[in-house]
Structure 1
């Protein structure tokens, strides 16, 4: 069993680079130090690589790196490589309707980290960025810039929307490139491109031919604020919406046959219903009950009136009405069959009692008012019982003439609602009105309430596709796995998908309508002609070409028609989710129309992920992706939503280049954004703010410090000619390679699992613990004080070169600017990190036995350092007493002689001298000076286990401080130690 290296705490006065510099001549006192003459003989690190890039230097350096290292050419370079391995990440298109924001940064940087990892692994990456260019969001933004837009023609609206989208695309594209995103920028895809539109219509054609697309009169989510139907994915729910809920009396007109004998002779009986949408009462066609539930006939103790409510809701209903009910009789719901009520606002109109499974007992009265034009379940009941489905509300959310003169032209969510409540009062059928706070759907763009309204729309029958889609989805990997369950549940609830929109900016649904009858004309010939025209001229042609060119005679002949002038082109456009959901057919045509990965925010579980799946399954019976990665949304650093009013909006451009006042908004550069993305747990909500960004900068500066140490100590080293073979390297250096190989494997696996937060955690632990706190602190004597070409020093530099190369490559996908920048300072290598491959470690480096030897020494070193807290380790000698056995043999690997000041064991201990003995020397005075401990050796996967005891004896150093190496190993305070004298003699 391999154990992780214990955290190593360097003594407070342990050597550090800065202290070396200070003791080597940085002290400016007039009196020369006695050791000043040896300053030039110490091989201190040399590098111009800066530990920090303050102020504007960070963003300016990144721009220079992008230019110098060919960021803009990297995508085309890697596509031209001769390799059979391909990786395709299909870019979900952002809306071209606003400035780039941190949500974009989160998404695009996650994608870029993924793509750069695969480029370095030798794959040809296919990544074509795209934009969602049609639809309501863009149309609204474009028209908001002008006044008097209500009189614009369809083509004027389309032209303004397209110009607006194009400007936004250029702005977003510039930002994405600045963030270091590698992509095929020259061949981006746009949903308003005529070839894209034609491909989209060909998918529509295939689905229509298979019967998956149909026209119907159904209730859909309707936005009065934008005059169009909306899909579920275009809604957001306001949890604090307040409705005017009402309890309404429906007088029983004809008793149910099974209850006739019971009700005969009673005073009039009424049913009580509860609704949060009083405006739907005029459209009532029935009252529904749950067949298997129990219902009670009750007497009101105050008025003597008789009511019918669900048995489970008797007490709660009485409490709300501020009265008491006496139960007269109880029956089953089925006993209400064939009863009829009077409509509460329309004299003479009847409302039958009908069974329905959607009735619940959790709230209300257990009896549900049913308006087929304004509810999905209501519509199902109406379809089953052939009830009228007339809609009394127009596209603007106003009551129509059919609703009666009292209601006509009144907004249903405002004065229309008030008027219906007044009508209920006048008819003495209003029992109670109260405010009710609940979750209610809003238009995601206008932030205003929507209604459910029946209208003629075009639909995809997802009920037919559901099973095949769910089976295809089960073959897809999802990260995190919870996303898969959510998407399967969403599919399960979805019975149809409304794909028609009453807007102008989009791809037209290729249908024609008879001017007199309103009957639609759509067939193979008409759609094929539409596809051909759009491919040649773009979708504008639908509004600019004459009807003779749009509707071919062959299409007319198929329906027995002759005069093309009897028809007009339909004005509805396709839902933007159908727009983007068919992107796989156009963008992925060169890679088998299937991507290795779709990576988007969690809102796409019901949006693009789902629309792409349904269109692909409908036409090809398979998913367009192999893996889904789902990330959360961005929030302020306290977990609050970002808003301008709160003042917590984080602008990526300000993060990179700084704000007007750099003391408030300093320039961080793009790599800070990239570190923030990688470090975050992106599978939940992602927090960002000043504290988060400052922490990221500190983390990167610590990493830069590590890189500077590595560069400084590789200044006089060329691994091509001076590297030491692994078998001849110092044990500690081999141990470092052993740790490096384990680090590289863990990092690679974390990238493969899209767990970039784990990559950051591994990186930070490795460079701060294994490198800075442990390895760097013990090898400085060997690096600085040995002879330049000594095998001991070259062994260490060999390890450092491998560490540097592996470390930089491990974070390069996350911090590409830093990776390329630091490579520029490497004396022996000038090529691009991304053009020279992934981490290249060797299985030969894996040596578990070394791990036990070094960790055993570290355990004793911790005991030593702990006993001299606050003191300089070099002022001491250490005696290690270990009984003969496996632990002693492992320590002998690190130190053959009995006592040494230059052995590998002494290097680990950080003392001036270490002795390795089997017995406590007789001249050691008191027992209390002896530190005792045990170390468990575990080798060969547990086959070799031995717990060994040891004793650590700490003594003051017996010799003088060396003027050159600072160890207490000199015979005289005036002259260097024997090791340094030998090296100086060579100079």
Structure 2
């Protein structure tokens, strides 16, 4: 390097084109996002997109909103759900669709009723003394309040949609259609009233749907009970049953055995001191379970006397354990038959199953098969009927959700009767109400059911004649699932589910709009009034005044008058399961609204994985009965939100993350980016460390966009360069854009946002910031304004800008609006009014891409070698280097000679050679055949571009190289 003796007083800072932008490095999202929300509301973004669709020929795309429940502030699961939906809607809009989104709410049901009842209890008010319409109005007002609160919370997430006109299940038209859909079941023969065991909440005093049930650990009493034969059979041996529900013993009607199981006759030889077993007593047990039973009964020695063939059980009648007990008043002096049951296994218990047809589905089915009598011993609050001997009024579950006395009192009575062989405790998974969190029971009550295997002659049999057939066929042929495993999950649930329990014994909901014949039995042909004119009168009244009209005095007479004698019919006052409400939304939203769909079918239903037994499930059953098929084409499922350790969030643990808190600290876009970065099809984790990592990714992406804005300052169309005139580097970037365009749109259509973001983030940080932008900084800053390189770089950057901002807008709507308005400010401007730009297929150039991938691999070896020198403080910047690059592959060497490789490596000079590399040369293990020998650049530093070149100081302008001297003129 020559000695530096020249004057360095000249400042060339103002002669270079440095990036310049007002776009701030710090986002300030919590403060600024509300400003964009106000702006979008002012210019009517959502409505303008609808107008845009009317003006063009855009294909409709409808994501139907699964209604959240209108009670309480949003939790992080709500945020996850709504952001995923918003990304889908926005991305499809920008891919050329008319992507409509109508938000909605579930407004009826027990949780709201429960809240009003709590208010009553605190005020010392009796709900039963309040007129039902007044009570319902209070429920309506409560729901309205939470709808308004949640609406604002959803909007704050950046979710756009028809917020001014959402759908509510309590709107009059919605209540009318829900009743109308119910009456389709009435008319097509699938509705029936049956008395069978259903999942029942004693605390809430109502039947529950499967989707309203969650399972928690529960410690139950378990008992082993002797049933004695009535006649002299089985050598007088007791048949022993095992159960974890002692409270069901008073309802026992039979004992079931496994027809193909192996049984034996066992004798107790040596009972322990505290055993209730007696020496010499005989017991019949399944052979596989005998050891466990004897251990539980504290029997120290026993003998197997002989085999017992299951044929010996045929016709055997047992005594109920309470038969003849003092105070029983003959209540249990009936025969208890032994019956074969395929549901009996030898996995646990004794090999014999205590059968109470009123309190379990297997028991009920066995009762149907053999004509067992149903019992009605349990009241709505989970207490025994007031006139039941021994146990009158005792509760199974107390009002606070804890065990009532029923279990313990039965155990005591069994011991008193000499029927208790053993007892213990068992911790196991047990059904609880997802609202009150109290344990549930199976209880036999008269309920209204939809028969899912009854053939319907309704002219909609393309996919089957029964609800189950249509539902299964829809799953198999009409619906795509994301993730795919959702298909098998929903299919197996539909395949094995029982009839749908439609009725609830509550007040706040849409009533079962039907009438029953006075004195007629439920299986009678004329039990239900099926009359189209009556139905029309009901729906007209509901449309005008809502479902409250059902409870007006004289309503029955008004709708039946002139058609049938009102006195001949009873009015049903049960309300519909709220899952029927939400399952009917396809009718009053998709079918009936102007912003619905022509065929009443949504492109997408999206909810959490629990909705395979909830909304996906009920919508499928309901629509199969009233439409003949599923109301959706795609079912997209997301997982649950967990804390950073993978634990379920709980207020009691203190590990919850509220969306409002995240927005307050980071902004909604960071929360949305967390969603996009996650694999939402699995369970997501969120917490302070994770959010910090998301914020870091956001900052890196923001810096890339900020650099582009600065480098594009004053970009003018006159600068734009045709692709054919561009250097290879820019054409390679355009090739990558063409590849990305196809991939990004495919990922958006597949609802794979994690892939969208990963690809764009990698492209921005690796291919742009660390490669293309890094290389082209020199040309952008120092080339003449009209140079080909500079114009090409700015043209490509403008192309990149339009694609990156629109591709990222569905994920980061606030930030991309900020970026967009930094270039295209205007009263009506918005990135969300744009579509993804069309990307010419002509940009693809596979041969060029293959060449530049080879160049990039070789470049990595050079930049890695220079990084070693920088780390060792040999150089401060790569422009101080002039490495010698040894290339073994002759073809690669020729390729590298066709490009300005020193510019690509950001060195002042570079020598390519085929000579063998010395042993000390730098090599990257994964870049074979390329070795780098470090050399310092020779010459003086150009004060304008900072390259070190031999010609610096020999030109008109002091301390400049030839390129900079020419640029200065």
Q: Residue 226 of structure 2 contacts residue 238 of structure 2 at CA under 8 Å; is this kept in 1?
A: yes
- 1:193 deviates by 1.4
Distance 1:825 1:68 in 2: 19
Q: Residue 808 of structure 2 contacts residue 816 of structure 2 at CA under 8 Å; is this kept in 1?
A: yes
Across the two proteins, how many residue pairs are aligned to each other? 904
- Residue 300 of structure 1: SS of its match in structure 2? strand
Provide the residue aligned with 2:822 in structure 1: 825
1:855 aligns with 2:853: yes
State TM-score, norm by structure 1.
0.88
Candidates 630, 633, 638, aligned match of 1:626: 633
- 1:882 deviates by 5.1
- 1:350 deviates by 2.1
Select between 200-209 and 846-855 the one with higher mean Cα deviation: 846-855
- 1:480 deviates by 0.5
- 1:910 deviates by 1.3
Runs of 5+ unmatched residues, structure 2: 1-5, 271-278, 325-332, 398-402, 455-466
Distance 1:496 1:647 in 2: 40
1:796 aligns with 2:793: yes
Provide the residue aligned with 1:805 in structure 2: 802
Provide the residue aligned with 1:559 in structure 2: none
Distance 1:934 1:516 in 2: 90
Provide the residue aligned with 1:575 in structure 2: 577
Candidates 325, 335, 351, aligned match of 1:366: 351
- Residue 941 of structure 2: SS of its match in structure 1? coil
Provide the residue aligned with 2:658 in structure 1: 651
- Residue 391 of structure 1: SS of its match in structure 2? coil
Q: In the TM superposition, what whole-angstrom CA distance separates every residue of 1:872-926 from its partner, at most 9, and x where no partner exists?
A: 32112134455795324422431xxxxxxxxx32211211013445568xxxxx9
For the structure 1 residues 554 and 76, does the alpha-carbon distance in structure 2 shift closer, same or farther, using more than 3 Å as the test? same
- 1:463 deviates by 3.5
Distance 2:669 2:585 in 1: 31
Provide the residue aligned with 2:691 in structure 1: 693
Provide the residue aligned with 2:461 in structure 1: none
Q: In the TM superposition, what whole-angstrom CA distance separates every residue of 1:368-403 from its partner, at most 9, and x where no partner exists?
A: 001111111111111111111022011111101342
- Residue 252 of structure 1: SS of its match in structure 2? coil
Distance 2:135 2:53 in 1: 39
Provide the residue aligned with 2:312 in structure 1: 335
Distance 1:642 1:808 in 2: 35
Q: Residue 612 of structure 1 contacts residue 624 of structure 1 at CA under 8 Å; is this kept in 2?
A: yes
- 1:721 deviates by 2.1
- 1:619 deviates by 2.4
Provide the residue aligned with 1:127 in structure 2: 101
1:144 aligns with 2:149: no
For the structure 1 residues 56 and 459, does the alpha-carbon distance in structure 2 shift closer, same or farther, using more than 3 Å as the test? closer
Distance 2:556 2:206 in 1: 29
Q: Residue 783 of structure 2 contacts residue 967 of structure 2 at CA under 8 Å; is this kept in 1?
A: no
Q: Residue 69 of structure 1 contacts residue 832 of structure 1 at CA under 8 Å; is this kept in 2?
A: no
Q: Which structure 2 residues correspond to residues 931-950 of structure 1 after superposition, within 5 A?
A: 949=929
Distance 2:617 2:7 in 1: 75
Q: Residue 319 of structure 2 contacts residue 335 of structure 2 at CA under 8 Å; is this kept in 1?
A: yes
Candidates 874, 878, 882, aligned match of 1:877: 882
Provide the residue aligned with 1:85 in structure 2: 59
Provide the residue aligned with 2:254 in structure 1: 286
Q: In the TM superposition, what whole-angstrom CA distance separates every residue of 1:689-741 from its partner, at most 9, and x where no partner exists?
A: 222222222211111100111111110322x3211111111111111112222
Q: In the TM superposition, what whole-angstrom CA distance separates every residue of 1:747-785 from its partner, at most 9, and x where no partner exists?
A: 111111111111111121111111111112111111111
Distance 2:946 2:215 in 1: 70
Q: Which structure 2 residues correspond to residues 38-77 of structure 1 after superposition, within 5 A?
A: 38-54=12-28, 56-63=30-37, 66-67=40-41, 70-77=44-51
Candidates 648, 672, 689, aligned match of 2:670: 672
Distance 1:349 1:817 in 2: 74
Q: In the TM superposition, what whole-angstrom CA distance separates every residue of 1:8-36 from its partner, at most 9, and x where no partner exists?
A: xxxxxxxxxxxxxxxxxxxxxxxx99366
- Residue 630 of structure 1: SS of its match in structure 2? strand
- 1:346 deviates by 2.8
- 1:200 deviates by 1.6
Distance 1:159 1:770 in 2: 61
Distance 1:511 1:33 in 2: 101
Distance 2:79 2:756 in 1: 19
Q: In the TM superposition, what whole-angstrom CA distance separates every residue of 1:92-113 from its partner, at most 9, and x where no partner exists?
A: 1111121122211111111110
Q: Which structure 2 residues correspond to residues 761-780 of structure 1 after superposition, within 5 A?
A: 761-780=758-777
For the structure 1 residues 935 and 842, does the alpha-carbon distance in structure 2 shift closer, same or farther, using more than 3 Å as the test? farther
- Residue 750 of structure 1: SS of its match in structure 2? helix
1:531 aligns with 2:545: no
- 1:501 deviates by 0.3
- Residue 254 of structure 1: SS of its match in structure 2? coil
1:976 aligns with 2:966: no
For the structure 1 residues 440 and 952, does the alpha-carbon distance in structure 2 shift closer, same or farther, using more than 3 Å as the test? closer
- 1:973 deviates by 6.4
Provide the residue aligned with 1:911 in structure 2: 907
Provide the residue aligned with 2:423 in structure 1: 433
- Residue 633 of structure 2: SS of its match in structure 1? strand
Select between 301-310 and 51-60 the one with higher mean Cα deviation: 51-60
Q: Residue 315 of structure 1 contacts residue 325 of structure 1 at CA under 8 Å; is this kept in 2?
A: no
- 1:80 deviates by 2.9
- 1:82 deviates by 2.3
Runs of 5+ unmatched residues, structure 1: 1-31, 557-561, 659-665, 895-903, 921-925, 937-947
Distance 1:427 1:90 in 2: 60
Select between 302-311 and 50-59 the one with higher mean Cα deviation: 50-59
Distance 1:783 1:547 in 2: 80
1:385 aligns with 2:387: no
State TM-score, norm by structure 2.
0.89
- Residue 487 of structure 2: SS of its match in structure 1? helix
1:219 aligns with 2:209: no
Provide the residue aligned with 1:900 in structure 2: none
- Residue 430 of structure 2: SS of its match in structure 1? strand
Q: Residue 62 of structure 1 contacts residue 669 of structure 1 at CA under 8 Å; is this kept in 2?
A: no
Q: Which structure 2 residues correspond to residues 596-615 of structure 1 after superposition, within 5 A?
A: 596-615=603-622
Provide the residue aligned with 1:248 in structure 2: 225
Over aligned residues, Cα RMSD in angstroms?
2.5
Q: Which structure 2 residues correspond to residues 391-540 of structure 1 after superposition, within 5 A?
A: 391-411=376-396, 413-464=403-454, 465-475=467-477, 476-513=479-516, 521-525=528-532, 526-540=534-548
Q: Residue 853 of structure 1 contacts residue 891 of structure 1 at CA under 8 Å; is this kept in 2?
A: no
